[in-house]
Structure 1
Amino acid sequence: MASTQPLRVGYVPEHFSTPLHFARKHYGLDAELIAFPSGTGHMITALRAGEIDVGIGLTEGWVAGLGKAQQQQEGAGDGGFRIVGTYVETPLCWAISTGANRPEISSVDSLQGSKIGVSRIGSGSYVMGYVLADERGWLVPTAGAGTGREQASPYAETVVLDTFAKLRAAVNSGEADFFMWEHFTSKKYFDSGEIRRVGEIYTPWSSWKIVASTGLDGREDGARRVEDLMERLNQGIAHFNANQEEAVAYISTELDYSEEDAREWLKTVRFPERTQGVDPEVIVSTIDVLCKAGVLSLGGGLDASAMIAKKR
């Protein structure tokens, strides 16, 4: 069944959204853009509830959500959405942050066994807590788990706080000891002294992917409209690359960044020329890391190819 309703596109209202803004401003993108400041985990919930049609979010969040759905056989194993495109080619730098006056937290190593703040269970901030623990050797298999692969939590508590603002407040109040969020989004609050930077960690994969609801499969115009969205995004990305000063002006006036930080971020990010499709090896390697980190379980029906609607 065809529909005249614009696609509802979920996105995170950060500097990475600039090409999406340009696609609508300059290239006629016909979509309702819905901001999710709490991140990818919230978009997964919205996709499954039928509240959005497309999401632009973090690779690890999408793969973790789909992997858990496959293992639990939710939504016929597809989790309610599939990965259709690539939005950012470069890894994401996650800053590791604590409260401004938390002298007992002196290094990343002091975070073992502490309270981690996350936006949502299954979000990027949650997943990266386990990737950090894996890199640091903090993961211990749970005895008697049957498979021997399940992991005891490396943290005393996982505190779900929904938004970046609540995460910042929690590490200052002591409700949480640390959290992880994108470096440049965090930097303003390091500079102001509201929170303190402890360290950083990079994703072992390209950082942003585009997903589409499987609910679009039943609409005859669903695939066409997603394809049109990605063509407009391609134009927005080309405009972004050719008009860096316009990008800096937008980021530093409409979003929560200084002009200096916007310029520094531009040196670190690379968007694809074409957003259509996903390299299956990126999804396979993401699954491997998430299994090693204990976010997903080895085996259990994990299938990278079933997570992908369109391959590169």
Structure 2
Amino acid sequence: MKKVNIGGVPEHFNLAWYLTLKNGEYKAEDINLRWHDYYGGTGEMCKGLRSGDIDMAVILTEGIVKDIIAGNPSKIVQTFVETPLIWGIHVAKDSKFKTIEDIKGTRAAISRYGSGSHLMAYINAKNHDWNLEKDLNFEVIKNLDGAVKGLTDGDADYFMWEKFTTKPLVDDGTFRRIDNCPSPWPCFVIAVREEFIENNNNDLITILQIINQTTTEFKSIPSIDRTIANRYEQELEDVQEWLSLTEWSQDIIDKKTIENVQKQLFDLNIIPKKISYKDLTHIL
């Protein structure tokens, strides 16, 4: 049985992977797919792909594009979630900051450099015409628990993370959300190490066929909203809103999207150069 390691954030976007694993669908095809939770998000997964700790990752589009350009030996094989990620912009409940203008020039908590929370801080800054050199400062907090501690203790001033994941922390008064910042592209892609693609092409195709079948049918699974609410400790109405806003994909990311991602990252000086579509993607 072929062992395959895959990484992703332990969030509702990835429930389809859990369901297919629970049903034994990969083992039925002689594939031992092992899921690894990456609480540190995209930056930590990029490191896992580079080291070979994981063969595949369900990862933020902007993060993996940046890291492939920086030398990560991986390729994007598919878009996983077609719709943008809605990033909530959060401050501590007792923070003096009330608006986006208030946090200009303060310290953004980020999981690590190169992570989604880091890159989206630039997008937010650009959206509000901030000076990217003077108005952005960063404090590395590793993960969501680190952000709670960092904002509560005053080590950082604001934190950007997926709106619905952090909603329980807003509801219980740990955070206040002062605004939202949608990503300007499809949020999640599936990236695979080049070495794995070359040596396990048929297994990769099988894995994608299985997960794509489930994401195609995901919203019609009976009581899926209640399942998500219970598993991720979220309010049912929040889950229903999230489901209404989210669309999965079963297709390769297109050239226009790749060009848009690279243009924005390049304009923000996040990447030093733009590379060709074929150097970022692999068509199975």
Which TM-score bucket, shorter chain as reference? over 0.9
2:233 and 2:65 map into 1 onto residues whose CA distance is 28
Aligned partner of 1:100: which letter? K
The alignment-based identity, stated in percent, is 26
Distance in 2 between residues matched to 1:225 and 1:165, nearest whole Å: 36
Give yes or no for contact 2:91–2:176 (8 Å, CA) kept in 1: yes
- Of 44, 47, 69, the residue aligned with 1:45 is 47
What's 1:144 paired with?
none
C-alpha RMSD of matched pairs (Å): 1.7
- Give the secondary-structure state (helix, strand or coil) at the position aligned to 2:191: strand
Indicate the residue corresponding to 1:82 in structure 2.
75
Q: Superposition pairs for residues 223-234 of structure 1, below 5 Å?
A: 223-234=201-212
Question: How big is the shift at 1:217?
Answer: 4.1
Match of 2:146 in 1: 166
TM-score by length of 2: 0.93
- 1:181 aligns with one of 131, 150, 161: 161
Q: Deviations over 1:75-109 (max 9, x none)?
A: xxxx2211001101111100000111112x12111
| Partners of 2:46 and 2:222 in 1: CA distance | 31
1:121 aligns with 113
Q: What is the aligned partner in structure 2 of residue 13 from structure 1?
A: 10
Could you tell me which runs of 5 or more consecutive residues in structure 1 were left unpaired when the two chains were aligned: 141-151
The aligned counterpart of 1:154 is 135
Counterpart of 2:265 in structure 1: which amino acid? Answer: L
| Equivalent pairs, count | 279
**Among 34, 37, 41, which residue is 2:36 paired with?**
34
SS at match of 1:33: strand
SS of the residue 1:138 aligns to: coil
Query: Which residue of the partner structure matches residue 217 of structure 2?
Result: 239
Distance 1:195 1:205 in 2: 26
Cα distance in 2 for residues equivalent to 1:24 and 1:172: 37
Partner of 1:190: 170
Question: 1:310 corresponds to which residue?
Answer: 283
Query: Is residue 98–residue 177 contact of structure 1 (8 Å, CA) maintained in 2?
Result: yes
Give the Cα–Cα distance (whole angstroms) in 1 for the partners of residues 44 and 181 of structure 2: 22
2-structure distance, mates of 1:153, 1:46: 32
Query: Cα distance 1:52–1:108, how it changes in 2: closer, same or farther (>3 A)?
Result: same
The Cα of 1:276 is off from its aligned counterpart by 4.2
Q: Where do 5+ consecutive residues of structure 2 fail to align?
A: 28-32
Taking the aligned partners of 2:240 and 2:280, their CA distance within structure 1 comes to 35
Tell whether the 8 Å contact from 2:82 to 2:188 is kept in structure 1 after alignment: yes
Q: Supply the AA of the counterpart residue of 1:167.
A: A
Go from structure 1 to structure 2 and tell me whether the alpha carbon gap of 1:95 and 1:244 turns closer, same or farther (over 3 Å shift).
farther
Residues 55, 212 of structure 1: 8 Å contact kept? yes
Aligned to 1:288: 263
In the alignment, residue 194 of structure 2 is paired with which amino acid? T
Q: Deviations 1:173-198 (Å, cap 9, x if unpaired)?
A: 11000010001011111111011111
For the residue of structure 2 that corresponds to 1:91, the secondary structure is coil
Q: Are the counterparts in 1 of residues 75 and 282 from structure 2 also a CA contact under 8 Å?
A: yes
Q: 4+ residue stretches of structure 1 with deviation over 4 A?
A: none
In the alignment, the residues of structure 2 paired with residue 153 and residue 82 of structure 1 have an alpha-carbon distance, to the nearest angstrom, of 34
